[in-house]
Amino acid sequence: MSWQQITVADCGTHHLVHGAEAYRERFDDVLKFHAPGLAPVCRAGDAWHIHADGSAAYDHRYLRTFGFYDDLAAVVTADGWCHIKPTGMNAYTQRHAWCGNFQEGRCPVRDADGSYYHINNLGQPLYEKRWNYVGDFKDGIAVVQSSDGRSSHVDSNGGLLHDCWFLDLDVFHKGFARARDDE
């Protein structure tokens, strides 16, 4: 059985493969499998990742776990949010008020003051600037929002891609980004 064939049961307590239970174990909640073949689960306030056969991928337990992206998964600990490796080991020592998912080796995070920025897979900030909000990277570009609520694009190092600011802005797709200005 390949983890790519496994789906979440409608009740959300276990996984199915071709409509049949993938394993006998039941959880309070499960999420879908992601490479490298692990799925987030939780039961009785503990959260961790499992293999396709339902067995635990590691011994450590967290408050909440999420799927793996770029071989790192966001988790919630008593000290805050961070990312772990498939072995359950911390990817870095810093803790955040919130973590997103890694895309293209970069991840949005929020600090205790409510400011957003991007980190690399070692947990290091990509740049010094802090924003009201930052989005995921796509094709080396992310949306950032300044303190006045206007948005622009940054490159993979956090530098402004252009000096245009919009009330609403999306990432580029096929060379275009949906934007809303004052008009």
Residue 181 pLDDT grade (very low, low, confident, very high; cuts 50, 70, 90): very high
Q: Decide if 112 contacts 104 (C-beta within 8 A).
A: no
Q: What is the rounded CA–CA span in Å between residue 175 and residue 157? A: 20
Whole-structure pTM value: 0.92
Q: What are phi and psi of 5, to 5 degrees?
A: -90, -5
Q: Residues 151-163: pLDDT tens digits?
A: 999 999 999 999 9
Q: Residues 60-118: pLDDT tens digits?
A: 999 999 999 999 999 999 999 999 999 999 999 999 999 999 999 999 999 999 999 99
Between the CA atoms of 21, 27, 32 and 38, what dihedral angle is there, to the nearest 10 degrees? -90
Q: Decide if 169 contacts 151 (C-beta within 8 A).
A: yes
Q: What is the rounded CA–CA span in Å between residue 37 and residue 89? A: 17
